[in-house]
Structure 1
Amino acid sequence: MTAFAAPDLAATFGGIGFWSTLLAAAVFLFGSTLVSIARAPLSRRSRRNWIWLVVLAPGIGIILWFASGRPAALNGPTHA
């Protein structure tokens, strides 16, 4: 009978842990972006467009939202 064990089981578990952590971070970032869009003071149409962008092109949509899409706070501090 032949054993079906990986030659280096530690590397296998390490890879599983790495990719699981990376996936969890991506899901958290995706969810955080959707919550941020939902709470932002945007028009209904603008909010819908941002959500579609993030859902259809998550990498680009998330980067664009946090780089330029987030509206400034209405009563937040301003720098002169």
Structure 2
Amino acid sequence: MNIDSIAAADLGTTLGGIAFWTVLLAGWVALFAATIVSVIRAGLSRRSLTRWILLVTLAPGIGIVLWFAAGRCQPSPG
């Protein structure tokens, strides 16, 4: 086993890791942006809009989950 084969294996692992984290980050940014757009389009009062945007921005993990679980206005049946 020579140094070139070790370096090639390490390079493949490194590039795979970079690709994985890049895709994960891009998905997170897309979810964050979709949440902000959803909050803005929800037709909330100015105070509620400000609070939701602050929550999603300052605590993105819990803010996104709370927005999609409980924050969106549910359409009335009919």
Same fold (TM over 0.5): yes
RMSD after superposition: 2.0
Q: Is the 8 A contact 1:34 1:51 kept in 2?
A: yes
In structure 2, list runs of 5 or more residues that go unmatched: none
Describe how 1:12-31 pairs up with structure 2 within 5 A: 12-31=14-33
> TM-score, normalized by length of structure 2?
0.84
Larger helix percent: 2
In structure 1, list runs of 5 or more residues that go unmatched: none
Identity %: 59
- Name the count of aligned residue pairs: 74
> TM-score, normalized by length of structure 1?
0.82
Where 2:43 maps in the other structure, the secondary structure is coil
Which 4+ stretches in 1 moved above 2 angstroms? none
